[in-house]
Amino acid sequence: MQLRKVYDSVRIKRDRNPLEAQDIAPILNAKNRRLRELGRSGHLIPIRCADYASKATARKLAKAIAGLGMGDRRQYLYNHLNGNHTIGFDVERDRSGVYKIFCFESAADPKHMEALDLLYKELTKKGIKFEIKSCQSQLQKDEYNCSVYTLAVLSELSKYDHAFDYLPTEYAEELTLKATKEIKIEENFTKKRTVKLDNMDKISWVKLSDMPTKVIAMSQSYQAMEQALKKSKDFDLDPAVFIQLHKEKYHFDQSNEQSTKYVNQRRKHIVDRLDASIKPMLEKSYSKFLKELPLLGLIDEGKVPDFHKEITENKAMTLDEKMAYIEKLFFVITEKYKIRGTLDSFEEISKVPPHYLSSLLLLRNEYLLHLASKPRTEYEEFFKNKLRSSPLFYKLEEHCKKIPSVMRVKSLSILFKELFPKQFVAEYYQTQDSCEDLKLKNPLTALFQENSRIKASEVMEQLKAFEKEYGGGPGENLFINSKIIDFLDPGLRQCLYYEPSTSLIKVKSGMDEETLLGLIESNGRISRAYVFTEDNQFYFYHEGNKPKLKAVPIDEATLQKIIKIASQQIEKLGSNPKKVLSLGNESIKEVCSFLRQENLNDICTLADHSPYDPEELNKKRNLLVLREIYIEYLSKLLLQDRKLAVRKWQEWRSSLLGFLDVVQKDSPLSPTARDAIMKLDVAEKESLEHQNQANPLFQKLSSTATSVTKGVLEKGLSFFKSANLKDIVSSYFSKEPNEQQNTWRYAQETHDALGFKLSMFHFLNGASDRWIRYERTSPPMNQIDEFGWKFNLSIHKDDVSKAFPIVAEVANQMNLGLFKIMCQAQANRVQNNDVKTMIGRELVIYPNANPELSAAQWIDILLKIEERFKKAGIRTSSDSCPASNRKLGKYVSYTHAAWTDEKMDIPFAEGIKETALEDEDLFADYVFDEITEAPRKKVASKKPR
């Protein structure tokens, strides 16, 4: 199966595209077997980390190198930072213990130098003796053959008995590379990162001309090959004659240059070898299937069998045998045409012959029919645990509908509703809806066609029919209302569009419309604008209108009111209205580059004019139709799932309420909708207050004090500070800072007498994801890498305020450098969230801030914290520590950012191995004792005598 996957992947990339890690691994295995058969030295090993641990590749390579025994030799295919570029290493540890490291790179990619610099640092940390030589060959001229080049060169180098044997004893180094101190590495089309290099002068840089002739002859440029051969001390032939023979050997064709050079021929050779390896296996496997599945032969002949007659009505087969037969036949076809399930594009599906697609759709419907014949307990178990691995999970209908020659087959979702009890269908859709072709179809899709006019009666007719079909008990009503909100969302989104700002332009009098239009369009950046003239004419320009410029009939008094509105905006922006509104010697002037929403609303109301083209106005009117309906169902949802309703209201409120008066005057909000909006606003306000309430003092304030009094009292808390550390941090925990925009540190307090300072920071959502940072000031903490090892403390959300002063006091007593703790709203959000990966990380202590502490000293400190937590009755946020962590105590676990920076659910054992950090685990000798709920040292097992 693995060979088949590689075969499929490599065949797709036969001529171009980089070969990836999964493509290379089995090829390396075959290559290693071949090397062993030939008795050559060297053993090819891929060095690559999981994507979440990409920064650890150099450390992983260093660990592999350091693990070599005396006389060992290995070759490594290295993907720096998990990039697509492959670099080769030939490494041998000689009999004196020195590591001889040769690095080959094919394309002068700057990541090569960064990799060497990091490798040099990692090996130096390990205190071993080593020597690095490297060749930045520039053999490669395309963007996708680095793996093939690296394999080819390492294979050639393995023919020599020892590393470095293929290099001259003396050679002139490439001094420009040796002197390099800085490089820029492209991260994407617009961004580059600068990398400082400290060790390039400690590496011996070998020129291509000093490499073996066979390596030089791999070049994709015959001109570069000729120049290198001329400089090579080991080459004594005529380079021109050699190159001509080279071209003849590899059947070089000038008109098909890049596919007929050495490396491209070698790439094809790899695919040909795979072809030869897998062909007999595939033929044998398929022959077996043809015997077991006679219907497969009919399909191969271009026929679509009557599966109902041949399988369903076949009395010789049991129900389970029929389902197994369908599964096998279905999966043979999907495997044959590489249909993967839910990820296939229309382009991929359209390549499958139509009679095979028709067969898949029909087979699946028969499969569902048999499934419905089973007892309810069995099909409930199937939908719960087996659906994803079954034929039902494949996404086929959407693509097949676009192919006219595919048989029209009843939709899987319609058949599902026909075959299974209504109650079960409703329960299925309430608990899961992951299978694409079983998903409930949005009944409003046909009404939401582009540029159509939406009618409230038609929308409600569809929604009421849906309610009738699936409605019922309270649980079902929650499902119904949340689903209807989902159905309406695409309609709302279709009504939204990018609205450019509306300008206000003044022009001289006496100008005809054609000249005026030309002047406006000469600006080049104005999409829409109101235009007034010195002789009191008023126009509207819109690039999407026909004609683009239209007169707007208003009287002089109205125009003066409009000019007054503009003057007030200009003055608020700090300019002189009289000066801005003066044309001077200009024929045309943009006096306001954008009209603020409130001013635009007033101008449109005065002019009784909407600043939209017909298509935009239709979208606005459709949104008004949907607004009333959306608010109606949102108010129902508020009674059933307050949190979800508030979230949807926050998402759509500005779009649903941000209409110009002139647009919504004929579609005012109904009294029912206004009442619902008030309730939604109250719910949102209460939700925010709940998140921001930090302690009982604020809870009391919110119920007894006015908002003004509350604000005064809140500010007073930060003014009257106690010198007692516990009071300081407790008061700070209750603080509600004014700085909401800045995501970095704010609300800073320094307490020099006690030797620490406090600050707050958040990431995206302000109060709802805010943290507090405790930092030692005496002695000052050195700058540390916060993306290293860390202790996580599990604290129940209602006990975070009690835990903070305890940890702060221990940190102050033990001189700890840095820890961070969630604010109350963040802890509430995390522990109420559906995504649980942050639970158990309510407080973070950074060991890097105290590098002087040993494992035993840290254990003592952590035990002090745990004992005080237990005494204070502090609860954990979860019974188990996060999956990415290793448990040390009831509350304490530890992890490393190398595998938790982007993903928080990588198991500790996998993460530490993948990032090559096992040797740095300070607590590898400790385990959590379930009985004492504390860490203890492992008992060393005695070796048998």
pLDDT value of position 704: 35
Question: For domain 737-937, which architecture applies?
Answer: 2-Layer Sandwich (3.30)
Q: Quote the tokens at residue 141.
A: 């001229």
Contact of 564 with 592, CB cutoff 8 Å: no
- Reported as type and span, the H/E element at residue 342 is none
Task: Judge contact between 399 and 350, C-beta under 8 A.
Answer: yes
H or E segment at 283?
A: helix 262-292
Name the nearest CA neighbour of 634 among 812, 509, 486, 775. Answer: 486
Residue (of 912, 914, 931, 915) closest to 923 by Cα position: 912
Question: Of the candidates 713, 712, 641, 711, which has an alpha carbon nearest to the alpha carbon of residue 680?
Answer: 641
Tell me which amino acid residue 474 is. Answer: P
CA distance 502 to 602: 13
Q: What is the mean pLDDT of each run of 10 residues along the chain (945 residues)?
A: 56 62 70 75 80 85 95 92 87 96 95 95 96 96 88 92 94 94 84 93 97 94 93 92 90 77 81 71 70 85 93 93 92 84 80 93 95 94 89 91 90 92 84 81 87 90 88 67 90 85 92 91 86 94 92 94 94 90 91 91 94 92 94 92 89 89 92 93 81 45 35 33 74 74 75 92 74 93 88 94 96 95 88 76 95 94 95 91 93 93 86 92 93 84 47
- Write the DSSP symbol of residue 50: -
Q: What is the pLDDT of residue 787?
A: 86
Is 887 in a helix, a strand, or coil? strand
Which residues face 269 on adjacent strands?
none
Count of alpha carbons within 13 Å of 545, Cβ hemisphere only?
Answer: 18
Q: Which two tokens mark 905?
A: 């659910």
So what's the pLDDT on residue 825?
86
Distance CA 602, CA 581 (A): 19
HSE-CB for 303 with a 13 A CA cutoff: 9
Cβ pair 804, 733 in contact under 8 A = yes
pTM, rounded to two decimals: 0.54
Residue entry with tokens 């490291």? 101
| Cα(62)–Cα(597) distance, integer angstroms | 60
**DSSP bridge partners of 429:** none
- Going from N- to C-terminal start, the domains of the chain cover 2-265, 293-437, 456-497+619-690, 502-594, 737-937
Q: Report the C-alpha gap between 845 and 839 in whole angstroms.
A: 15
Quote the Cα angle for 689-690-693, to 5°. 80
Name, in order, each residue with C-beta under 8 angstroms of 410's C-beta and a sequence gap of 6 or more: 365
Whole-number Cα distances in Å, 355 to 296, 305, 400, 785, 824: 12, 10, 11, 60, 60
Backbone angles phi, psi at 99, to 5 degrees: -90, 120
Give the Cβ contact number of residue 916 at 10 Å.
22
Going edge to edge, which strands form the sheet with 892-896?
A: 746-751, 756-762, 770-776, 818-822, 843-845, 789-793, 892-896, 886-887
866-to-136, 622, 774, 843, 874 alpha-carbon distances in Å: 55, 60, 19, 13, 9
| C-alpha dihedral (569, 573, 579, 585), degrees to nearest 10 | -90
Distances from the Cα of 91 to the Cα of 44, 68, 118, 149, angstroms: 11, 9, 16, 18
Q: Answer whether 896's CB lies under 8 Å from 788's CB.
A: yes
Sign (positive or negative) of CA dihedral 928, 932, 933, 936:
negative
Q: What secondary structure letter does DSSP report for 766?
A: G
Which residues touch 509 (CB under 8 Å, ≥6 apart)? 533, 534, 535, 537
Instruction: Give dist(CA 349, CA 347) in Å, integer.
Output: 6
Residue 635 amino acid letter: S
As a whole number of angstroms, the distance between CA 294 and CA 297 comes to: 6
Closest CA to 248 of 258, 263, 261, 259: 261
Distances 566 to 541, 575, 592, 596, 669 between C-alpha atoms, Å: 17, 12, 7, 10, 29
H/E element, 149: helix 146-157
Q: Is the dihedral of CA 63, 65, 69, 73 positive or negative?
A: positive
CB atoms within 10 A of CB 705: 15
Q: Is 810 exposed, middle or buried (CB count within 10 Å of its CB: 0-12, 13-18, 19+)?
A: middle
Q: Measuring CA to CA, which residue among 676, 669, 670 is closest to residue 639?
A: 676
The predicted structure's pLDDT at residue 209: 96
The reply to whether omega before 779 is within 30° of 0 (cis) is yes
